[in-house]
Chain A
Amino acid sequence: MSLLNAIDIKVVRDLIRTRGQITAIVLVIACGVGVYTGMNSTMRSLESARASYYAEHRFGHVFVSLKRAPESVGRRLASVSGIQTVQTRVVANGTLDVPGLLEAASGLLVSLPDHGRPLVNDLRLRTGRLPRAGAWEEAVASEAFMATHGFSLGQHLRTVIDGTRVDLKIVGTALSPEFTYAAAPGQLFPDDRRFGVFWLGRKALASALDMDGAFNSASFRIGRDAHVDDVIARVDSVLARYGGLGAIARKDQHSAFLLENELRQLQGFAFLIPALFLGVAAFLLNMVLGRLVAGQRGDIAALKAFGYRDSEVGLHYAKLMGVIVGLGWVLGLVLGVWMGAETTQLYGSYYRFPDLVYHLGLRAPAEAAVITAVAAGVGAWSAVRRTVALPPAEAMRPAAPPVYKPSAVQRTGLARLLPTWAHIVFRELERRPLRSVLSVAGVAMATALTIVMAFTADSVRYMLNVQFGLGQREDAQLHLAEPRSTGVLAELEKLPGVLHAEPFRSVPVELVHGRRSENVTISGVPADAHLVGLIDEGLRDVPVAEEGLVLSRKLAEILGVRPGDQLWVKVLEGRRHETEVPVTRVIESFVGTPAYMRLEALCRLLNEPSTLNGARLLVDEARLTELHRAVKQTPGVNAFTSRDTVLRTVSEMLDDNLGAMVGVSMTLALVMAFGVLYNTARITLADRARELATLRVLGFRRSEVAAILVGELALVVVVAIPLGLLAGYGLAAALVRSPGFDTDQFRLPLVVASATYATAVLAVLSAGIVSGWSACRRLDSFNIIEVLKTRD
């Protein structure tokens, strides 16, 4: 017995004969399966690494910062209903003088219990050991900071903590679930050169901060049945008189929020992109199998005349589809594993996990197989169903000739302007409206895909330009450890290189409007502020009125307020005044949820004389080195950031990743556009071989016949591109409004650069040119005499 039935040999031969088209479909399926398995397996690898990391290291459920509370309050918190474990600690900002770094780096200093491990937010020690009890200068540093600087254990770092100089000796490196994403507090992007986390013994840090027997930060793990919001309310009420700044849930913790948000973005893409690809694959299978079956009408009739059942004939085509789907799936898995491993590694360089391992798992490949089979099945079934069901006698006869009508173009009277051959193109497209519409839709999707995948780069660049170009007009910002009277401004202006210093005062508050409330920082700016730019949606400058609050758009949305509404402001520091303040303006801001007031008005609200806790500086660039050196020596300065440095770091990071992103999206778009256009061209060629041969015999030049063939493709491309650009813009608009991109911490503005549109058009045009060229090349090889001898 032969290994294959005769009908199976036909499957193999059909595959070989249509290999070009099959390859195009296999590639489209492979992209869909690849993106689906790659992104989903990445997401699950990250989720599983996160779950075990958070669990093993007892990552907190609730976090709170406060001014200062005696340790006994910690014991009271432990008895609060719903709370399982409390870890009190001391946390402070410090400035570091890092060898090899011109500017001061900022450090977050976190205390460790003097005995045993932290009950909440345990560390994962990577090298070395924990500080010994009583060894005041010993510290464990975040691994990324140490690695970026190439420091080894034993490294000394001069640090200023709350005005006190401490010479830290690094005895270990560690990771912490609290700082999976190691961006400085409030920053969106990590900068491992200029920011590090340092864990010190509790006594050592407390004595430097004069916090013996007290704490200013606490983390909690709550019981299984406890409600986070209830626990937060209880914690806030306990800590109100100790300068509590409002407890937050894990979902709002900076690092956890950004990680979760990243995963949700990934999930969105992991659904959207494969859906587009598999939709296109279903259409292509429908088109190619439909054409194949139409060409094999006689064969099907013969098979049935021999006694093959409908189901057996159907199975024959199902096998054909099965091979295509199988090949696409296998290739897609290879692509997916490669993509998944690369993306997981990329995520691993921003989100530091101790045990991040890429796992393909079984779920993503299985899901991809089912989804692909369903999509392909729908496409294939609708293509073969009718022909397979024909009675043999009917199938023996040629299909009824197609019915043509004068085309819409002709009815508009434009016909006179068109050469006769152009009618062929228009009528063909009109005769198969669904195929034409789907071809256009497929190419439009490819165009849109490029935009959706690449526009985020434009949006982030725009966001940076607005943030740093219009919003922050200073050269550097300087934060003081404690509020000081405005007299200190004169001292700051005396620092070397400082041309101008503009004071600001930031105050943590809770804003309340009806049932809604939000903890934010109000920034007080002077009346004649030049260095802070508040802008509206049209990027016009917005002045800060003498009285009242200026809110960022997102904050106004959260609180449900409009200019003219009153807000209840609860100050979270000092004497914790509460008062009502009107909202005067709403401004545009893409990062955070800032709020602004006039400096004088804010000080009146605080009931304190004019104070400041930081300044925006204009600096003489030539003396920047001197200024950096001086700041490192100045006690009482907590952080000093130079705008250009931040901008440069972020831009470098974007360029590194976004280049790859644009490359990947271009490739995906090319595959999709090529899959559609190549198949459209080949099917046009197959359907119309007889016509095209006739035209050649009638004396049409090769180029003229090619024009008809390419004309149909060109029309599809010309109609699809503008639709695709619109669809791309629309999808981008939907995406920036989706939860992963419209968050409290940042909003992606909807910006699509002309270069991105051009890239999309270029990808689709090149796919069109290659498809057209390959179809035209076939015109050379077909035998016009043979074609004419056969009856349609």
Chain B
Amino acid sequence: MYTKDGEKYFILDAHVALWDARPENQRNIHGKQFIDCFYDYHRNLSPESEVWPYEEYLYQGGERLMRDLFTDGYVDHAIFQPALLSAFYNNGFGQTEEAFALAQRHPDKLTYNHCWDPRFEQAGLDQLKRDAERFGLKGVKLYTAEWQGDSRGYKLDDPWSYRYLEACQELGIRNIHIHKGPTIRPLDRDAFDVADIDKVATDFTDLNIIVEHCGLPRLEDFCWIATQEPNVHAGLAVAMPFIHSRPRYFAQIIGELLYWLDEDRIQFSSDYAIWTPKWLVEQFVDFQIPEDMVEYAPLTTAQKKKILGLNAAKMYDIDVPAECRLPSGEDSTGNKTEAVAVA
């Protein structure tokens, strides 16, 4: 929980990871390239005081994660969104067993989402059913540019993707987090294009489709489908840290999202351990749209509370202390559209 000027904010960090990118776990050069890319994101957008040494960045471990999120970072609940990256790391990038064990020890603080890959076809589908039971899955994280054998990505409207999404419906996995990446076959078209998400959102109206980093670098394509598909949500991973280094750009992103979606479909995340939540929460609560940007309305405290935690808490059915909830009047305002999370 974060308190400022008498207001209490429930903080749900909707996208965190526990990864191992140490050299002994790197399968090949791409393992190093991948974590180096993350580290450049981290160094480029973090305040100087929050930059980690490279060695620490390679692996953070459960104890540090608990401290960074819950002791120092004001987070009340966080959701693991793992990327497996088996083509780059011997034992995977996201540490399934370690993260799940941590979530079991702290069920009030951590939710473990897992991932699937439609290119494993029937075997993967059977695995998904076992995973749903073992992990008690409420959500999954999909990285469409994951490399797998000769393939360097898949689309969400591939026939096998549809079978996995149907399985999610049957298994009660309602929250589908999607991270678009750059390599996908064929290379003829834009891999960041979100047209397949549009199709899936239309065909699976009872699933919440959360598009991580709000479609960036294709914010415009994302906004366009999200305005038409009420079950499409914006995850703020990667967008959040611009609040420090490029506050006017951040204002434009938030301004556009609030215009095209609404305040009920935007979720905060730190994308830990790319960044840490403490400074992001502090700066977001203090943030305001610059006065000269007359095309965007000022951010309200209620909107900030929804984005920082209430929206995702509703989606994941996580109890919010009464002192952090919105007065019923404001809540009903927020719920007036159909665009609420399927809980």
A and B interact: no
